[in-house]
Structure 1
Amino acid sequence: MEKGEPAAVFELAIVVLKREEPEEPGKFDCVERLVGELNRAGLVVERVLGISDEFIKLAAPLEILGKAAAELQLMKLTHIGVELRFDWDQEAAFIRQPDGSLFSWCERFLCYQHLLYQIVNTTGSTIRLTFERRECKWEQNESLLEKMLSEGIVKQVFPLHDELKRKLLLKNWALNLLDFTWQPIDDIHSYFGTKIATYFAFLGMYTRWLFFPAALGLAMQMIDLGAWKFLVLPLFFVFITSWAVFFFQFWKRKNSALLARWGTYYSMSLSPRCKRGGTNSRPSPRWGVELDSKTVCDRPLEKDKTLQRDEWLGLLQKIRNTALVVLGIIFLQLPFELFYAHLYEISESDGVKYTLTALYLIAIQYYTKIGGKVSVILIKYEQDRGEESSADSLVYKVFGLYFMQSYIGLFYHALMHRNFASLRQILIQRLIISQVLDNLLENSLPYLKYSYKKFRAALQKKHEKGASLRKSIRLSSRVEKEYLKPTYAASIGDEFEDGLFDDFLELALQFGMITMFACAFPLVFCFAALNNITEIRADALKLLVMLRRPVPRASASIGAWLNIFQFLIVMSICTNCALLVCLYDEEGKWKIEPGLAAILLIEHVLLLVKFGFSHFVPEEPEWVRVNREMNVAQARDLCSKQLLSSISSLKARKME
């Protein structure tokens, strides 16, 4: 370990089945073989015996991680602004993270994966291993960990919390209630990775920007506008739309600056992706650029035609699947949503309304789960370019279900019945009652699941030992407590997405409600700001205390959610104009009077602002653009020299 580097901490754990009967370990024991191989790989290993399982905790010195990064050929930014393949012997040339560490959490996780799965049988013959009188064959060139996973001997591999960093984040972030929106974003990035840090940076900026419309909405609610409302509400609508457009343009600038500061802006499209679903899949190495005679020769024309055919086939499959989802929404979900909205409108008793709402919420939960599962199945038949593209496709499809579920009732009350009182009541119900209940469930369910798992493990241990049920059995090890905690998973499944799907979905639905119906209830921005202030600390506590440490993910932005937010801005222009028309045209004659003509003019102007503002405010700061262009130019020069040198050497060998 290099001088000045902190001591290695345990960052990964392997869960192994606990032996039912004590057995004298021997050289053929698979668990002993795994531990020995991990030690030979240079990892620091500690075995912990739990109530129902055995745990192997892993840590890696910096030198071991550095050599693994070199084998993976990770691209890292150097001090001269050029990305190069990492070389452990030249580690001083590479830029460190904001917290002083050489590798980010995502890079360390990839190195751990490489170290674990590179343990293969290189003896040239099959090795026979045993576990509890069960025999398994370790074939040539087969990964030992994959073999033990397939045999059920290893149950899981999961990241561990770093207690020192976790407690610091608890103190400075989750429990720092006085600073409403301030967050240590660099520390969050160092501990959780780029994707989660980007989410909290977006949530913090979004909450701070909400203070402006919240203050204006509160003033409009406290002051009796009277006849002035016909002038003030259109101005408020213009302000909200401009606010939303400005916010997302400045968020793009902040996102670019953050990624440049973290050293991920340049390498995001080049570095290997961190796995989403867990650590039970082997990472694919990043292959270097090596030229052979086939590279110098002309590429076959048939290969280009195959690529073009696959591209168009994948596009047609995506269009077909999207059409299936849209038809399902129109013919299945839309009638159900309109039927509920109609019954809610004609019901006179509050008890009947609450009963209808309860039945609706129960039914819609099952419908959404079915729609999510169908979307996952459809995506598997799409030829997406990697997991990130598949995740974006899933987000679009599932959000369509939630969009119809969340807004069709509001559209019905606002446009069909023009009942603004009922619309305000539903907005309050959705933003206060629904979001409060969601936060309570979001933070209480993990604790209940953890308590239930701990109770089952203790109960099983008591039955095995024949001990009295009154005698309590406590978990003595921290690693077992973390293992029993729930994972940060999405409600639609964690195959393509993790828990960030639900967090971004909640923000998107809230943003749609407050912008699309701003003219009907300006005070709604205050409720949204208060909810988001609470959400920052609640999500921090959830990640640091109630859940396992999530598997890191590398991502350059908030992904498909940015397009969804942009779509909601366009929808807000249309819905608010319709609300103003209903306000001006109380008799329903739909005459083009000066007031209605002004509303149509406002709509066109705001659409022009929405699509034209991006040309005046660049999406990235000037210093980021200059550094990026410099990096690309220098990398192109280096690659050109390497390619020319390789081509010359190949030609020279041919002439010999």
Structure 2
Amino acid sequence: MGDPDVLEMVQEEERRAGSEERFFEVSEQDLSSRESSFLISEEPRFKKDEQSKDSIFFRDGIRQIDFVLSYVDDIKKEAELKAERRKEFEQNLRKTGLELEIEDKMNSEDGKTYFVKIHAPWEVLVTYAEVLGIKMPIKESDIPRADKIPFSCMLGPLKLPRNVKHPHAEYFTAQFTRHRQELFLIEDESSFFPSSSRNRIVYYILSRCPFGIEDGKKRFGIERLLNSHTYSSAFPLHDGQYWKPSEPPNPVNERYTLCQNWARFSYFYKEQPFNLIRDYYGEKIGIYFVFLGFYTEMLFFAAIVGLACFIYGLLSMHDNSSSTEICDPEIGGQIIMCPLCDVMCDYWRLNSTCLASKFSHLFDNESTVFFAIFMGIWVTLFLEFWKQRQARLEYEWDLVDFEEEQQQLQLRPEFEAMCTHRKINAVTKEMEPYLPLCSRIPWYFLSGATVTLWMSLVIACMVAVIVYRLSVFATFASFMESEASLKHVRSFLTPQITTSLTGSCLNFIVILILNFFYERISAWITKMEIPRTHQEYESSLTLKMFLFQFVNFYSSCFYVAFFKGKFVGYPGKYTYLFNVWRSEECDPGGCLVELTTQLTIIMTGKQVFGNIKEAIYPFVLNWWRRRKARTNSEKLYSRWEQDHDLETFGSLGLFYEYLETVIQFGFVTLFVASFPLAPLLALLNNIIEIRVDAWKLTTQYRRPVAAKAHSIGVWQDILYGMAVLSVATNAFIVAFTSDMIPRLVYYYAYSKNAIQPMKGYVNNSLSIFLIADFPNHTVPSEKRDFTTCRYRDYRNPPDHEDKYFHSMQYWHVLAAKMTFIIIMEHVVFLMKFLLAWMIPDVPKDVVERIKREKLMTVKILHDFELNKLKENLRMNSSDFAKHLIIQENKVHLAKSAT
């Protein structure tokens, strides 16, 4: 090589080194000047005609708005403190790399709200994507989608367009890292991270950004600033309007796509676009709608069987021997029943309950046992198939290893702020905040005492409702029991039914009132426990709320099913509540009708009230808020202002959706033997619920911050517990609340008619009481010429040596009931365990797909690192050779010069 070439090579090497030094100097100066310019003054106000009201960009039209903060001027004493907090907070946000743009209140339509728009540049996104362990695509997957199902051609009308159901191709993914950016499929930096990941990253920064030191402790987190009203709101922007697609330069409006294909009520029969929901709202909201959709699909089969059982009861109503005998004037019309209350109530004829006995047969017939066993198997299949669906979802949404990430990364800011101790994490081997158990024990005691107190309050309210029913029963009876009742058939509204209807409605109102207050108390107590992670917080709150809701909604049903009419006593020796009110009796046909009434009113009332509240409440609030905001109509009603005027979904919005679904699941499973139409009502409600939830999320609520979840969490354990409990409750309902077992005992042991085995059952089920044995304080005020009356029980007649003691038939029936419970529980549990063993938690094809993806990911990473190593070695060897040549030529030039 000649001297000119050597000189040119040396000069090129020096120029390159100098340019690199100048690059870093300029970068540091640019960052410093840009930061100082932000701190000194804000950018000038935008002009109205230069920006579209649907724009989701900064004023430059290039940087996308990832998050918005808002606040108003405070005229109170804390105004200066709040302004100082905001200034410090925003300065620290800029130091993390976020870019801020502030809109003055003069530019807002209400003339008083400031908006802080936040943009996360590429450097921030890649940094925190690595911190959060976000998985991004590295190669298009070669595994075909598992969309083919049997009879899929028949389900064509239920399907969504492919571009809506699968908006993106399938990819092999890996946790993002800045040092391997070349590995990932980055075509456009502005669209590489989906908007849900961008707002999740920004919120992560906001929740950990400090805003000052107060009382010797470092304060940080947007949640604290929101609680202190330093900022009035913090939210990510929707993509655009929900009623029209976006126009360039805005990106594709996924909100509009969701509204058109998911939130429309005319699409109630369509499948849901789960992948699009996940991309827009995040995995946590996405998995809720997957669960709700799967639960609704499974309800379809239970609803069909329940409807078939109801139709069977309807068709066999007129052939029912029990109601035929009750309605017969020569049988039921000749049976004089004992009074239903003391003194004020008169005797009455059995045929006055004719309509009630026919209605009871709708739900208390031979199909009741079959349906109870079927639902025990159905709930097992539902939970086992949901395990499989959840495992498939974890694979499809890259959530297989999410649990470890949650434990390591998602510490609650409140936990970090309150902890003064630190210890080494056994997993990460890093120092982290730690709260000693002794600091939590007082709050745990307070929490347990509060939950116990409120559950006791629920029991007290239920007792109060029982007292109400006992108090008004005599009043109803005095109006409805008259001389006519001994001659004519009464209407369907017997004293029992009338009192049951009014008592159920009153109980439902009490339930709503208690829920309203307890929700706020339980949230405050859970916060005081200082849970470590968001998952622990939700699990603790879930346990408190569910225990209360379980007692609140089901206590009255448990009372009617297992206690009412079981401790009545008999005429002349009735059991009294508080020595004042006589215990409630069941209808001669049993308490199943009343349980059905109670269940129908509470379940239907809760569902109707919930849907009305979810649909109308945010709609009215948003309308009123928009009306108040539109004071300066000449101003630009911008994208961030439109979203600001929407209702907030809140961190517990999804919690209440799950709670509502699980409580409904309890109605469907725990007491379904008394009401086979419960799955049908739940199915109809859920079809509406899915579209109502979709509509309110896309149109009436601000966009929630995206969050990850790999399962439905603690709700799954609750569902398993309720499934086990439902087997026992339905067995006891059939045995003790239904009239099925006494009829079977009579059919096989006491019937004397071979042609019509059930003939005479009604007379056999009623005991005889001698009116002369009535105590003076219980005998009816009006004297009758009857010598005996009848009551429902199995006791010896007055002429027996052990009069009014339980007869042998009573013990036979009781033994049959206990035998039935044992057999039914063992059969159902055996089938449950057998099905659980046969159905794998993770489908075989999903296991193979996971193995395939892990293998391909490792291979891709290995090839990438190997190629990178070879390139580095080649570059290093080339650079080393160049360096030797340069050094030799320098020596040669030096010798030549001397």
Of 568, 583, 586, the residue aligned with 2:722 is 568
Shift of 1:199: 0.7
Deviation digits for residues 614-652 of structure 1, max 9, x if unmatched? Answer: 3332222234445667889999xx9xxxxxxxxxxxxxx
Opposite residue 54 of structure 1, the aligned amino acid is Y
Question: Which residue of the partner structure matches residue 536 of structure 1?
Answer: 690
CA contact (8 A) 1:38 1:116 kept: no
Q: Return the offset for 1:556.
A: 1.6
- Alignment CA distance shift 1:59-1:559 (3 Å): same
TM-score (norm: length of structure 1): 0.73
Deviations 1:416-462 (A, max 9, x none): 2442222222222223333112211111111222233334445xx58
Q: CA separation of 1:69/1:360 partners in 2, compared to 1, >3 Å: closer, same or farther?
A: same
Which residue of the partner structure matches residue 739 of structure 2? Answer: 583
Of 612-621 and 183-192, more deviation after overlay is shown by 612-621
Aligned match of 1:74: 133
1:70-121 CA deviation, whole Å, 9 max, x = no partner? 4x3635367599986522353353589xxx9644555323422356578889
Distance 1:360 1:537, change over 3 A: same
Report what 1:619 is aligned to: 841
1:392 aligns with 2:557: no
Correspondence for 1:643? none
Which of residues 229, 235, 250 is equivalent to 1:158?
235
Distance in 2 of aligned mates of 1:19 and 1:317: 37
1:162 shift after superposition: 1.1
Tell me which amino acid in the other structure corresponds to 1:480.
Answer: E
Paired residues in the alignment total: 572
> Are 2:97 and 1:57 aligned?
no
Query: Which digits, 9 at most, give the CA deviation of each residue in 1:570-599, with x for residues without a partner?
Result: 221111111211323445635355575244
- Give the partner amino acid of 1:15: S
Residue 609 (structure 1) aligned with residue 831 (structure 2): yes
For residues 102-145 of structure 1, the C-alpha deviation after alignment (integer angstroms, 9 at most, x for no partner) is: 44555323422356578889xxxx9xxxxxxxxx99x9x99898
Q: What are the ranges of 5 or more consecutive residues in structure 1 without an aligned counterpart? A: 1-5, 21-27, 127-135, 283-287, 463-471, 639-656
Greater Cα shift, 238-247 or 614-623: 614-623
Q: Which runs of 5+ in 2 are unaligned?
A: 1-60, 76-83, 140-170, 241-252, 321-360, 419-423, 477-494, 565-585, 743-764, 766-792, 794-809, 862-898
Is 1:426 matched with 2:568? no
% identical aligned pairs: 25
Supply the distance in 2 between the matched residues of 1:249 and 1:146 (Cα, whole angstroms): 39
**Is 1:333 aligned to residue 448 of structure 2?**
no
- Contact 1:195-1:552 at 8 Å conserved across structures: yes
Q: Which residue of 1 aligns with 2:302?
A: 213
Matches of 1:318 and 1:36, distance apart in 2: 34
Q: Distance in 2 between matches of 1:568 and 1:577?
A: 14
Residue in structure 2 matching 1:367, options 509, 514, 536: 514
Letter in 1 for 2:691: R
Distance (Å, rounded) in 1 between the aligned partners of 2:850 and 2:461? 51
Distance 2:222 2:720 in 1: 44
Change (3 A) 1:95 1:232: farther
Query: Which is worse superposed, 214-223 or 109-118?
Result: 109-118
Q: CA–CA distance in 2 between the matches of 1:39 and 1:10?
A: 18
Give, in angstroms, the shift of residue 354 of structure 1: 7.1
Say which SS state the counterpart of residue 269 (structure 1) adopts.
helix
Structure 2 residue 620 is matched with structure 1 residue 448 = yes
Contact 1:196/1:500 (8 A) holds in 2: yes
Distance of 1:328 and 1:274 partners within structure 2: 33
Mapping of residues 22-171 of structure 1, within 5 Å: 34=90, 38=94, 41=97, 43=99, 45=101, 47=103, 49-51=108-110, 52-60=112-120, 62=122, 64-70=124-130, 72=131, 74=133, 76=135, 79=138, 86-91=176-181, 93-94=183-184, 102-103=192-193, 107-113=197-203, 154-163=231-240, 164-171=253-260
Give the SS at the match of 1:182.
coil
Q: 1:213, 1:189 → 2: CA distance?
A: 29
2:641 corresponding residue in structure 1: 480
Matches of 1:90 and 1:342, distance apart in 2: 72
Give the Cα–Cα distance (whole angstroms) in 2 for the partners of residues 40 and 398 of structure 1: 39
Please name the residue that 1:201 is paired with: 290
SS in 2 for 1:16: strand
Deviations 1:371-417 (A, max 9, x none): 34443454345474422112112111111111111111122222324
Distance apart, 1:613 and its partner CA? 3.5
Check the 8 A contact 2:410/2:533 in 1, yes or no: no
Give secondary structure in 1 for the equivalent of 2:262.
helix
* Aligned residues of 1:11 and 1:162 also touching (Cα < 8 A): no
Label 1:475 to 1:540 Cα distance change in 2 as closer, same or farther (>3 A): farther
2:172 and 2:853 in contact (8 A); partners too? yes
1:507 partner SS: helix
d(CA) in 2 for partners of 1:204, 1:580: 31
Cα gap change, 1:64 to 1:409, in 2 (>3 Å) = same
CA shift in 2, pair 1:166/1:314, >3 Å = same
Cα shift at 1:514? 1.7
String of CA shifts for 1:482-529, please: whole Å, max 9, x gaps. Answer: 21222113xxxx5xxx11122111111111112122221212221111
Do the aligned residues in 1 keep the contact of 2:109 with 2:635 (CA within 8 Å)?
A: no
How many angstroms apart in 2 are the aligned matches of 1:360 and 1:234? 29
Aligned to 2:385: 250
Distance of aligned partners of 1:454 and 1:75 in 2 relative to their CA distance in 1, 3 Å threshold: closer
SS of residue in 2 equivalent to 1:270: helix
* Whole-Å separation in 2 of the counterparts to 1:29 and 1:564: 43
Q: Is the 8 A contact 1:39 1:45 kept in 2?
A: no
The aligned runs of 1:195-594 (5 Å cut-off) are 195-223=284-312, 224-225=315-316, 231-270=366-405, 320=445, 323-324=448-449, 327-329=452-454, 331-341=456-466, 343-344=468-469, 347=473, 348=476, 360-380=507-527, 382=529, 384-415=531-562, 416=564, 417=586, 418-457=590-629, 476-489=637-650, 494=651, 498-581=652-735, 582-586=738-742, 589=810, 591-592=813-814
Aligned partner of 2:484 in structure 1 is none
- Equivalent residue, structure 2, for 1:133: none
Please say which of residues 101-110 and 203-212 is displaced more in the overlay: 101-110
Indicate the SS of the match to 1:427. Answer: helix
Please give the alpha-carbon distance, in whole angstroms, between the structure 2 residues aligned to 1:170 and 1:246: 33
Q: Displacement of 1:540 after TM fit? A: 0.3
Structure 1 position 180 matched with structure 2 position 180? no
Q: Which moved more, 1:169-178 or 1:447-456?
A: 447-456
Q: 1:530 to 1:342 in 2, by over 3 A?
A: farther
User: Which residue of the partner structure matches residue 66 of structure 2?
Assistant: 11
SS in 1 for 2:739: helix
> How high is the TM-score relative to the length of structure 2?
0.55
RMSD between superposed Cα atoms in Å: 4.8
Deviation at 1:219? 1.8
**Kept in 1: contact 2:102–2:114 (CA 8 A):** no
Contact between 2:402 and 2:710, CA under 8 Å: does it hold in 1? no
Distance 1:324 1:428, change over 3 A: same
Secondary structure (helix, strand or coil) at the match of 2:674 reads: coil
Q: Is the 8 A contact 1:76 1:94 kept in 2?
A: no
The aligned amino acid for 1:16 is: Y
CA distance in 1, matches of 2:426, 2:561: 63
> SS at the partner of 2:135?
strand
Output the CA distance in 2 between the equivalents of 1:511 and 1:151. 39
